[in-house]
Chain A
């Protein structure tokens, strides 16, 4: 099951490209396009400019897979957050390690992106803890009632996180800013290392989607539908808004994300749901 997550994530990426193309009135690539891309990258000559790069690419995929496994086996959400954080750190260190200004600058921006969304996620998980009394995903299932009904604002805050996670406008400062940074953090990867990074990205996307679907834990179908709607909203926003600077990203995520979750928790406390 955990090993199927890259496949689901790859398919989601294909849906992403197809939908984006349709929104721009293009036909768009086939759904399996991400798989063709990864296969082709696998078959190309690799150009390694720092000996750490392949290890870090494997590390990125490895940590992403571990995080996916933790979610499938209903483990602790905090652990998932830290393991995903490790995956991101692998990517950033690889970007720093290459002797390239584009890669270096994107690495710094990637760190800032992590600084923006990880506290919001942490706060959202804390809100879940205050409601269910447990940081584990099993606890969410045992809670019974859908979380969306008690924590709707936290889900909206996680929508912002999803935008950064998918590296989409307006917060695509590090990954897709090709007008300024070539290919962002991915600039210096080639051949199989890039294929590994792609696999890691698919896994991470699928993991995040699984976490979002927990907001309607009693029924995985409704939960999945909620996460797919959020995915669609990200694509809409991506096609509507231009890129912002990292300062605006940091300010928006912290101000809006923190405010939403804190207001949600305050409302619950006033309403007597939590102590």
Chain B
């Protein structure tokens, strides 16, 4: 494992995008940053800037209005990157499925690496999902394979 790969395991910057859920999952994502869970001790920071992010945390179902925004945001995150769908809405559409304005889960628009189901997903589950994505990120980095 190279130095950069090791650093990747210790420093993850997150960009969090709410596609239009009920905000329940967003509150849980933010709860992971609070003193009780404090994800910063693993180097995970909610950076808010797609150009510097490693992981996209998506909540809520995609609708016709914001699918273009989501696509743009996904393309702005530089490689290597991971996408996590947090909450049942983001995974499948959840309670919003079959609504006329809803496309379904976020995987209708961007490729998803980790699914964290739950309505709302618990902070422990979200951290678990991020750790899973982190491992995938460090393992799959193609340019540093030995």
Binding site for B on A (CB under 8 A): 17, 21, 24-30, 33, 35-37, 39-47, 178, 182-183, 186-191, 194
Contact = CB atoms under 8 A, between A and B. Distances in A.
A17 B44 CA distance: 13
B41 to A, nearest CB: 4
Contact of B43 (A25, A29, A188): A29
A45 B41 contact: no
B124 interface: no
B23 interface: no
Contacts of B43: 29-30, 33, 36-37
B11 A44 contact: no
Given A46-B78, A191-B78, 6 more contacts: A26-B35, A28-B38, A28-B41, A36-B11, A47-B51, A190-B51
B10 interface: yes
A82 B93 CA distance: 57
A24 B13 CA distance: 20
Contacts of A36: 7, 10-11, 43
Contacts of A28: 38, 40-41
Given A26-B35, A183-B48, A40 B40 contact: no
26 contacts: A21-B38, A26-B35, A27-B38, A27-B41, A28-B38, A29-B41, A30-B43, A36-B7, A37-B43, A40-B4, A40-B10, A40-B11, A40-B54, A43-B7, A44-B78, A44-B80, A45-B79, A46-B78, A47-B76, A47-B78, A178-B48, A183-B47, A183-B49, A187-B49, A190-B51, A190-B52
A191 B80 CA distance: 11
A33 B41 CA distance: 9
Contacts of A178: 48
A43 B52 contact: no
Interface of B: 3-8, 10-11, 13, 35, 38, 40-43, 47-49, 51-52, 54, 76, 78-80, 141, 144
Nearest to B12: A40
A183 to B, nearest CB: 4
Given A41-B52, A188-B51, A190-B52, A26 B79 contact: no
A262 B97 CA distance: 69
Contact of A25 (B35, B48, B76, B80): B35
Contacts of B78: 44-47, 190-191
A47 B3 CA distance: 22
A57 B76 CA distance: 20
B62 to A, nearest CB: 22
B4 to A, nearest CB: 3
A42 B11 contact: no
A93 B76 CA distance: 22
Nearest to A46: B78
Contact of B10 (A33, A42, A187, A190): A33
A45 B78 CA distance: 5
Contacts of B4: 39-40, 42-43
